[in-house]
């Protein structure tokens, strides 16, 4: 089969498109014919050598959508079953989704049913699931949310765009502000459904406004500034690390957090077995547009990484395996 393998950390040119042995079925694992996958920011970190536990050579890719080719659990994962795989140690401790086939542990393969086109389906696993889970933890998927003001920090990311699409499909009237470091992306953000755009300059928001709900994808690098923009009873969901800092130094909840606000987070390893289909059903029920911003082919993975790292990057980037879809 063809795959993208990395032998040493570095730039996108270190992602090598080559012929590799198709993995052989073994007990407790199944072989998935990969139809497509999203490119995630965490794979850029890993490619650069910033995931210390990942040993090279490795086929990266922390997610994929596809169908079961061969399985050791024929009852739950029969041949031809549509599946999503995310998280676990895929693309990290063992080879991942940047390939025509992926051998994966049965417990991290989730059967789903969908009629979505492959490019849209491939946009969903990590990105839409993370956006959907964050939306749930922000209490934005139940009841009347029309009067709320919502802020998305890191709005131009795949997760940021997915979040506003989900939110606006659920309730057009909720007021959503998105941030970017780059003013030239304001029109693109508005076209995605953001009502307002605020510039994030070195992790300081260029506004005095306060919000009822904040999805913070910049993370600890910006969190103290986020706290200064929250209304009473507001909730912040810290889901991302785009700022490149992984923890909040000397965090003192009593001193650092404004009074009467809530801090939560979401991790895509959180209960995908039960909730991936719920997310797909939500997308289909509310008619959420999950079309990715850019679609690449398997040999173009280095180009996809280059695009995601460029200053013009916007929204979800996916790869569709042409051979497996013809």
Please report, as ranges, the residues that interact with ligand NAP according to CB under 6 A: 40-42, 126-127, 130, 154, 156-159, 180-182, 185, 217-218, 239-244, 266-268, 308, 313
**In the complex, what is the shortest distance from the CB of residue 32 to ligand NAP, in angstroms, rounded to a whole number?**
20
131: which residues sit within 8 A by CB, 6+ positions away? 159, 160, 162, 163, 166, 215
Closer by beta carbon to ligand NAP, 34 or else 215: 215
d(CA 221, CA 111): 37
Q: CB count, 10 Å around CB of 275?
A: 17
Q: To the nearest whole angstrom, how small is the minimum distance from the Cβ of residue 79 to ligand NAP?
A: 30
What span, in angstroms and rounded, lies between the C-alpha atoms of 178 and 323?
37
Residue 98 beta carbon to ligand NAP: minimum distance, rounded to whole angstroms: 15
Residue 77 or 279 with smaller CB distance to ligand NAP: 279
Shortest Cβ 82–ligand NAP spacing (Å): 21
Q: Scan for tokens 């749930």, then name that residue.
A: 136
Cβ proximity to ligand NAP, 71 vs 157, nearer residue? 157
C-beta of 259: minimal distance to ligand NAP in Å? 27
Question: Positive or negative CA dihedral for 170, 172, 174, 176?
Answer: positive
Shortest reach from residue 71's CB to ligand NAP, in Å: 26
Task: Name, in order, each residue with C-beta under 8 angstroms of 81's C-beta and a sequence gap of 6 or more.
Answer: 67, 68, 111
Alpha helices in the chain (DSSP H): 41-47, 118-122, 125-137, 158-170, 186-192, 220-227, 253-256, 272-286, 301-309, 322-325
Q: How far is residue 48's CA from residue 32's CA, in Å, rounded to a whole number?
A: 27
Whether 196 and 321 have beta carbons less than 8 Å apart is answered as no
* CB nearer to ligand NAP: pick between 127 and 136: 127
In the bound state with ligand NAP, the residue whose beta carbon lies nearer, of 58 and 185, is 185
Residue 91 or 154: which CB sits closer to ligand NAP?
Answer: 154
């Amino acid at each position: 089969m063809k795959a993208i393998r990395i032998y040493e950390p570095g730039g996108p040119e270190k992602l090598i498109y080559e012929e590799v042995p198709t993995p052989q079925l073994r007990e407790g694992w199944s072989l998935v014919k990969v139809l497509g996958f999203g490119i995630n920011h965490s794979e850029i970190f890993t490619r650069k050598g910033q995931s210390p536990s990942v040993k090279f050579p490795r086929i990266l890719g922390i997610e994929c959508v596809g169908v079961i080719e061969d399985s050791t659990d024929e009852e739950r994962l029969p041949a031809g079953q549509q599946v999503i795989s995310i998280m676990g140690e895929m693309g990290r401790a063992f080879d991942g989704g940047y390939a025509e086939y992926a051998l994966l542990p049965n417990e991290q393969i989730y059967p789903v049913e969908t009629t979505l086109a492959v490019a849209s389906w491939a946009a969903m696993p990590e990105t839409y699931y993370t956006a959907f889970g964050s939306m749930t933890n922000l209490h934005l998927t139940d009841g009347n949310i029309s009067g709320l003001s919502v802020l998305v920090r890191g709005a131009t990311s795949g997760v940021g765009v997915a979040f506003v699409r989900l939110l606006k499909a659920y309730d057009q009237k909720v007021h959503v502000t998105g941030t970017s470091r780059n003013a030239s992306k304001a029109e693109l953000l508005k076209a995605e459904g953001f009502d307002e755009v605020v510039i994030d300059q070195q992790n300081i928001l260029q506004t005095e406004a306060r919000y009822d709900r904040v999805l913070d994808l910049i993370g600890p690098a910006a969190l103290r500034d986020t706290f200064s923009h929250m209304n009473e009873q507001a909730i912040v969901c810290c889901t991302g690390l785009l700022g490149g800092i992984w923890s909040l130094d000397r965090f003192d909840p009593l001193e650092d957090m404004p009074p009467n606000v809530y801090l939560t987070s979401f991790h895509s390893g959180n209960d995908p077995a039960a909730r991936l289909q719920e997310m797909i059903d939500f997308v289909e029920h509310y008619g959420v547009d999950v079309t990715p911003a850019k679609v690449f082919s398997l040999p173009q993975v280095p180009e996809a990484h280059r695009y995601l790292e460029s200053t013009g990057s916007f929204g979800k980037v996916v790869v569709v395996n042409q051979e497996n879809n013809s």
